[in-house]
């Protein structure tokens, strides 16, 4: 099974897009709402979650799947 990545980023109309793979699942007025829903989906799919800021640059990246490395996420 191919691992799908989950991402949150600006949609271009002032809203925030929540994408799974290359498919837009939903758009939200607030980035925090999109992130909350994105985390739930990433945990369910055991996927990576990438969060982009208004400028499109990566703000944060978390992995919710099995990690073969022993390095643990210290951001959260």
Tens place of pLDDT for every residue, the chain, 76 residues? 456 899 999 998 999 999 999 999 999 999 999 999 999 999 999 999 999 999 999 999 999 877 666 556 666 5
Would you state the pLDDT for residue 1? 46
Would you state the pLDDT for residue 59? 96
CA proximity to 50, closest of 15, 59, 2: 59
Phi, psi of 10 (to 5 degrees): -65, 140
Would you state the pLDDT for residue 71? 57
Would you state the pLDDT for residue 4? 82
């Amino acid at each position: 099974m191919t691992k799908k990545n989950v991402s949150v980023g600006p949609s271009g109309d002032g809203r925030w897009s929540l994408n799974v793979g290359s498919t837009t699942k939903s758009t939200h007025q607030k980035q925090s709402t999109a992130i909350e829903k994105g985390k739930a989906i990433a945990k369910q799919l055991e996927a990576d979650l990438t969060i982009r800021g208004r400028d499109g640059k990566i703000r944060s990246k978390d992995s919710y799947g099995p990690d073969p490395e022993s390095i643990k996420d210290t951001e959260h």
